[in-house]
Amino acid sequence: MPLEVRAAAFKPACGSRPLTHGAFNTFCRALPATSYVMQWGGSHVWKVGGKVFAIGGGERAQPSYTFKVSDIAYEMLKEQPGLRPAPYLASRGMKWIQHFAKPGLSDRDLRGYLRQSHAIVARGLSKKRQMALGLAPPGKATMTV
């Protein structure tokens, strides 16, 4: 399965209920080679190959979700209502967005960005690690001249 990342269109989630932590965890669990840990004061942290790709936090009534994005998506999303550069991570130059309030993203678009975050982080793993996790097909040996 290629780890291609495409920019999802921004669509406000007018009138929709926020994605619950349970639905967030179920969705992230279904992505390939993921692991889960609760840390940082009760945050739901999802990793691929030991590297964080998504964080769920906030209150039950208004959960927040943090995810890694491409440079283009970061520029597109960082000032949209209900979204912001992720506290702590973005202040250190990393391209992470936090979905924290309405209107934010629709559940469909949020899931799309979570998939992209998983792919971005997985692509950053060594080829050997990707193959060990089943994230990349075995490559053909090549000769260098």
Q: What is the pLDDT of residues 40-98, one digit of tens each?
A: 888 999 999 999 999 999 877 789 999 999 999 999 999 999 999 998 887 787 899 99
Q: What is the CATH number of the domain that holds 70?
A: 3.90.1150.30
In a domain, 62, yes or no: yes
Residue 140 domain-assigned?
no
- Adjacent-strand bridge partners of 55: 45, 66
pLDDT tens readout for residues 119-128: 999 999 999 9
Whether 104 is in a domain gets the answer: yes
- Residue 144 tokens read as 């260098």
Range of the domain at 71: 21-132
Q: Is the pLDDT of residue 13 over 70?
A: no
Strand-pairing partners, residue 66, are 55, 98
Q: How many domains does the chain have?
A: 1
pLDDT at 3: 38
On whether residue 31 sits in a domain, the answer given is yes
Residue 98 CB partners (closer than 8 Å, separation 6+): 64, 65, 66, 83, 84, 85, 86, 87
pTM confidence score = 0.81
In the structure encoding, which two tokens stand for residue 38, read together? 């609760």
Does residue 8 form part of some domain? no
Query: How far, in Å, CA of 123 to CA of 32, rounded?
Result: 13
> Where residue 35 falls among pLDDT bands split at 50, 70, 90?
very high
